[in-house]
Structure 1
Amino acid sequence: MVLQRNKPIPVWGWADPGEKVSVSLVKTGANEKSLTVKADKDGKWRIDLPAKEAGGPYDLVVKGKRNSLTVGDVFIGEVWICSGQSNMAWTVNAVTNAEQEKQSADFPMIRHITIPRVISLKEEEDIKETPWVVAGPATVGDFSAVGFFFARELFKDLEVPIGLVNTSWGGTQIESWISREGVDSFDEFAGITAKLPASVEELNERRKKLLLDKISAEQGALPDASEARRFSEAAFDDSGWKSLTLPVVFDLQLLPYFDGTIWVRKTIDVPAFESNGPALLSLGVMADADETYINGVKIGETPLKNKMPRFYHIPANVLKSGKNTIAIRIRDTEGSGGFSGRADQMLLVQGQTQVALDGDWKYRVAEVIDNKQFTGPNHAATLLFNSMVAPLVPYALQGVIWYQGESNAGRAVQYRKSFPLMISDWRRKWKEEFPFLFVQLASFKAAGGNSETGSTWAELREAQTQTLALPKTGMAVINDIGERDDIHPRNKQDVGKRLALNAFKVAYGKDVLFSGPTFREMKKEGNAISVAFDHTGKGLVAGTDKYGYLKGFEVAGEDQKFHWAKAEISGDKVVVWADNVPNPVAVRYGWADDNLEANLFNAEGLPAQPFRTDDWKAVTAENKFK
C-alpha cells in the first residue's frame, strides 16, 4: 500500500479493552522501533506515527498481547482519494486505446484500492477486506481510469509512489456523500435526517410498503396462481384493470422500484386479418422476460436477461377477422423492466395490413419481488458517506479528485451550496483543508437543453465553477472531449492530465498554467460586447475549427432572448455581436447540455470555462433535494 509522506501517519484498529498495542513502520529487514498505545474501554486504539519522506519498502507491524499483523511492500508517497459517480468509477479497460494503455502500464509505484460499494444509515468504522493492487499490464485494467491517468502524470513529475483510494459509485447524487452533521448544517436540508430510519433494512421495508400500498389501492390484492393463469385467455374480462400507455418502463414511470411480474392486455379490432394467414408481432425492446399470447395461443417467449427487440411469428389460424386479444406476461427480476423501445416498433403486421400497438393497454400486477431494490445509494442522504468515506477517516492523504454531477443536474442551483457543503464536510471530518480537485461536466446531449429551452447541465457546470471560490480547489474543464451521445467519454487520459495540472498548482505550488481561459469581465462597445479573460497563456485561439471561427457565443438584449453571435479574438479579449441584437446586454458561452462545439482555448490547448454574464432565473431554481 501507500502511506502519505510528510504528514503524521495515523494507524488505528481494535483490540481487547485495555490491551497494549505496539505499532512500527520500519524499512524491510531493519531493526524494529515501535510506539505503544492502550485500547480504550470500547477496544479502539490509534497511534500517529512520525511523518516520513517518500520511500520504501517498509513493513508495517502491529502487535497485541496474543497476536501480530505484518503488512509488507509499504511505500511512502502521495495518497489521493478518487470519488464520484460512474465517470470516476470508469475503468482503464473501457477507455480509448485501452489495450495499448494496459500493455504500457509498468508502474509498480502506483497502487490502487477499490472501496467496496455498500450503503449504510450509520457511520461505519471499517470496510470489507479489499486489496491494494500494483499497477501493471495485468492489473491496471480494473483501476479507475481518471485516477490512473492522474497518478501517471504525478508520478512522472514527482517521482514518488502514488496511492489511489477509489471510493466511487455510478449514478450517485451528492447528497448521499455528505455526513449527517453536514446535512444537518444546511438549512435547505432541514429535517431530512430526522426522517431517516435506523437501518437500511427498515428503509427497504418503508419503500416496499409504499409500492405495495399503491398496487393495493389500484387493483386490490395480488392474484393467486389459478387466477393469474387465466390472464392469457382471449375471453378473460379485464374491464376492471387499470390502463397504461405503452411503451413504458414500469419501475421508472408507473411503479417505482418495481420488480416482479406484470400482465398487459390489449384488444384490437381489424376486419382485414385473414384467419389462415401468418403474421408478425413486433413489440420493441423489452426487459426482462416475457410470454406472449394472441387469442389465448402462446406465440413466443424470451428468457430472462434479454433486453432485445421482440419479434414473434404468428402461425396461421391464430389471427381472425374482428377482435383479437394480445396478452403479455412480463417478468422483471432486477433493474428496469417493461417496454423501453420506440412506439413505432410496436406493430402487428400481416401482408399489407399494419396495426400500431402503442398507446392504451390494460395491466395488472401479479407478483412483487423483494430484491432489496428499494434501497439504492440514492434513496437517502448520507448513505455513501457512512459506508464509503467515514471508514477512511483519518487515513492521511494529500487530497481528493472528484468527478460527479450528472445525477444532480436537475438540482443544479442547489448544487451551488450542496457541493461546497460536501467539500467542507469532508475537510471537517479529516480536520484538514486538503486540496479538492474536480471535473466539470463534459458535453452530452442529455435533454438537449440550451439557452432557449433552459439547460440543466449548463447550470450544473456553473455551480461547479462557483465552487472554485473555496480555497485549495481546482477544476478540469473537458467540454471539448465529451461525446454528445455517450455520458461516459472514453478519453479519460486528458481528464487525468488536466486534473494533474490543477494538482501541480493547488497541491504542489508549481508555476504551471493549469486552466483554460476564464471569464473576467465584459464591457459594452456599441452593438457589441467585449469579453476579457484570465488564464490566456500564450494567447487565445479558436480550436477545433479548420477555418478559425469561434463558436459557442450567444448574446441577448433586454428581452432575454439569446441569439448565436459572431466572435473575434482581440488580444486577451473576445468581441461578440449579433446583427439581430442591436443592443446586447448579456453574453453566454458554451451554455447548453451539449456544448461540444464551443471552441475557445488558450494556445496551450486548455479549453475555456463555459459562462454567462447574466443572472436571469435558472430552470432548476425551484428544484430541491427531498
Structure 2
Amino acid sequence: MTALLSEANAQMQQENFSPDLDTEEWPSMQLPASWEEADTALAAFDGFVWFQKTIDIPERYAGQAMTLHLGRIDDADITWFNDEKVGQTYGNNNFRTYEVPASVVKAGENTITVRVQDNAGNGGLMGPVNQMYMELSGEQTGISLDGPWKYNATEPLPKVDMFPSEPAILYNAMINPLIPFMLKGVIWYQGESNASRAKQYQTLFPLMIEDWRNQWGIGKFPFLFVQLANFITGGPGDDSWAELREAQLMALDLDNTGMAVTIDIGDSTDIHPRNKQDVGKRLAIAALKVAYGQENAWSGPMYESMRVEGDSVILTFSEVAEGLMVVPGEKLKGFTIAGADQQFYPATAKIISENEVSVKSPQVAEPEAVRYGWANNPKTNLYNEAFLPASPFRTDDWENLQNNQNEI
C-alpha cells in the first residue's frame, strides 16, 4: 500500500511538459465534457490526460496580457500557454482563471496545453461553456475555448481503493501518524454509516477504543463520544438508529468514557445537523467529569433498573442531578410498553420521584418491557434538572433486531 501511494504521489508531482510535445496523432474530444462520457476507452480511467487546443490570436491582441478561463476541471490541472506555465489548481469545484503574460501572446496560432489529473470518478475539462474563453482588459474576446481539443491519456494512477470506509484507510492515514504525540483524550463523533450493523458495532466500537489506548500506551485516556441525533431515515418499523444508539450506550461500560446525548438537538432532515455548539457544550461538561475529575452533572438521566407494580412499570434512573424533569408545559413522551407478546404500544408516563418514572398503557395489563426514544427520529422530553436529556434505552433484550446477522 505504501509503495502504491508513493508511486501515485510521484506521478502527481511530475509535469512532463515539453515545447516539442508531438500531438499529431492525438484524437480529438469535444469539450467541455468528462472523458469517461466522451471516450468509452476512458470509462474507467483515473490518472493523467493531456489536452491541447490551438487558437488564433488576432494581430491587435498580440503582445498584450490576457486572461485564460477554463471553467471547472476535475480534479487538478497544470496549464501552459505556448511554452509558458500559467497556473495550476487542485479541486473540481474551482473555476480556472489564469493570467497570460504579454510576452507569450503572439499573433496567429497559439497553443493551450492542460495536464489533467483525475483521482476518481469523472475527469476532464467540465465547463460550463460560458466559462471557457479568453479575456482582454476585463472584456471577453471572441475567442471561445469550447469545441474540439486534442487529447492523450498517459499514465493511469495505481489502483488503490481509497474509499474511507474500507478497513484501515482512515486509521493509517489520519490516526497512526499521531501516535507519537501526547494527548489528553479523544472526542468521537460517528456512527451514521454503521446504523445498519448495530450488533456488530457493539463489539467494534469498544475494541477500537481499547486498541487506540493500547497503541498510545499511556493508559486509559478519556474517550468521549456523541450519541446519534434524531434523524428521519428508513421506512416503517426501521429502528436501526435506535439500535446504534444502544450500541454506543453500551460503550460506557469501559472506564473513562463519556457520552453526549443529542437526541433533542438533531435535524430530522439533515444527517449532519448544524447545531454543533450544544454538542460541544455537552462534550465539555462530560470532559470536566471524565478527564478532569470534577463532581458535576455531566450526563442526562441513564436508565438503571425497572420493576413491575400491577399494570405499571417503575423505571429508576441514575445521573438525575437534582432530580428528573420534563420540558415545562409538556407531558412526558417517547415511552412505549409491551407485555409477553412483545408488541409495543404508546405509553403514558409520569415522574413519581426525583429518580423514578411510572409507565403504563391500557393495552398492556401485564407489562414486561419499556422502551424510550426507540425510533430513528423519536419525540422525547425527559431531562434532569441540569437540563441534560435522557439517553434512549430499552429494558428488554428481545432479538427483534434486523441486524442479528451482523455478528463478528
For the aligned pair, the TM-score class normalised by the smaller chain equals 0.5 to 0.7
1:370-409 equivalences under 5 Å are: 375-378=161-164, 380-409=166-195
Partner of residue 607, structure 1 = 389
SS at match of 2:231: coil
Query: Match for residue 271 of structure 2?
Result: 487
AA matched with 1:445: I
1:567–1:576: 8 Å Cα contact kept in structure 2? Answer: yes
TM alignment of 1:138-153, pairs within 5 A? none
In the TM superposition, residue 199 of structure 1 has moved relative to its aligned partner by 4.9
Paired with 1:476 and 1:599, the residues of 2 have a C-alpha distance of 16
Per-residue deviation, residues 42-68 of structure 1 (Å, max 9, x unmatched): xxxxxxxxxxxxxxxxxxxxxxxxxxx
Q: Distance in 2 between matches of 1:335 and 1:606?
A: 44
1:139-538 → structure 2 map (5 Å cutoff)? 199=4, 375-378=161-164, 380-432=166-218, 433-448=220-235, 453-538=237-322
Q: Which amino acid aligns with 2:403?
A: T
The separation in 2 between residues aligned to 1:396 and 1:376, in whole angstroms, is 28
Which string of whole-angstrom CA distances, capped at 9 and with x for unpartnered residues, describes residues 122-170 of structure 1? 6xxxxxxxxxxxxxxxxxxxxxxxxxxxxxxxxxxxxxxxxxxxxxxxx
SS in structure 2 of the partner of residue 463 of structure 1: helix
**TM-superposed deviation, 1:333:** 10
- Matches of residues 3-152 of structure 1 in structure 2 within 5 Å? 121=1
Structure 1, unaligned runs of 5 or more: 1-120, 123-197, 203-224, 226-257, 261-287, 289-304, 307-331, 337-369
Q: Give the equivalent residue in structure 2 for 1:578.
A: 361
The equivalent residue for 1:548 is: 330
Offset, 1:403 = 0.2
d(CA) in 1 for partners of 2:300, 2:165: 37
* Residue-by-residue CA offset, 1:359-406 (whole Å, 9 max, x unaligned): xxxxxxxxxxx7889623345311121121111112011111110111
Task: Write the distance in 1 (CA, Å) between the matches of 2:157 and 2:374.
Answer: 41
Q: Counterpart of 1:576 in 2: which secondary structure?
A: strand
The answer to whether the 8 Å contact 2:202/2:251 transfers is yes
In the alignment, which residue of structure 2 is the partner of 1:109?
none
Q: 1:623 to 1:374 in 2, by over 3 A?
A: farther
Which secondary structure state, in structure 1, belongs to the residue aligned with residue 264 of structure 2? helix
Q: Which amino acid aligns with 1:404?
A: Q
- When the two structures are superposed, what TM-score results if normalisation uses the length of structure 2? 0.62
Q: State the superposition RMSD in angstroms.
A: 3.2
- Distance across 2 between alignment mates of 1:259 and 1:510: 56
Amino acid at match of 1:526: G
In structure 1, the residue corresponding to 2:299 is in which secondary structure? coil
In structure 2, stretches of 5+ residues that fail to align are 8-26, 28-42, 46-73, 75-91, 94-117, 123-155
- 588, 591, 609: which one pairs with 2:371? 588
Distance 1:334 1:394, change over 3 A: closer
Normalising by structure 1, we get a TM-score of 0.41
Look up the equivalent residue of 1:555 and give its one-letter code. Answer: I
* Shift >4 Å, 4+ stretches: 198-202, 332-336, 370-374
Query: What is the aligned residue count?
Result: 275
Query: What is the rounded CA distance, in whole Å, between the counterparts of 1:395 and 1:500 in structure 2?
Result: 22
Query: Secondary structure in 1 aligned to 2:274?
Result: coil
- Contact 1:458/1:593 (8 A) holds in 2: yes
CA distance in 2, matches of 1:529, 1:201: 62
Percent of aligned pairs with the same amino acid: 49
Give the superposition deviation at 1:201.
9.5
| One-letter code aligned to 2:287 | A
User: How far off is 1:548 after superposition?
Assistant: 1.9
SS at match of 1:569: strand
Q: 1:259 to 1:568 in 2, by over 3 A?
A: farther
Which letter does structure 1 place at the counterpart of 2:387? G
Q: After superposition, give the CA deviation of every residue in 1:481-540 in whole Å (9 maximum; x if it has no partner).
A: 001000111110110011011110011011110000000100101111010101111221
Letter in 2 for 1:418: L
1-structure distance, mates of 2:157, 2:305? 54
Residue deviations 1:310-362 (CA, integer Å, cap 9, x gap): xxxxxxxxxxxxxxxxxxxxxx99659xxxxxxxxxxxxxxxxxxxxxxxxxx
Task: Give me the whole-angstrom Cα distance separating, in 1, the residues matched to 2:238 and 2:230.
Answer: 15
Q: In structure 2, what is the Cα distance between the partners aligned to 1:557 and 1:371? A: 60
Alignment check: 8 A CA contact 2:238 2:376 kept: no
Q: Are the counterparts in 2 of residues 259 and 333 from structure 1 also a CA contact under 8 Å?
A: no
Contact kept in structure 2, 1:414 and 1:624, CA below 8 Å: yes
8 Å contact from structure 1 (residues 334, 371) kept in 2: no
Q: Is the 8 A contact 1:334 1:373 kept in 2?
A: no
CA distance in 2, matches of 1:570, 1:499: 29
Contact 2:4-2:158 within 8 A present in 1 as well: no
Residue number in structure 1 paired with 2:150: none
Q: 1:413–1:201: structure 2 CA closer, same or farther, 3 Å change rule?
A: farther
From the superposition, tell whether residues 335 and 536 of structure 1 become closer, same or farther in structure 2 (CA, over 3 Å). Answer: farther
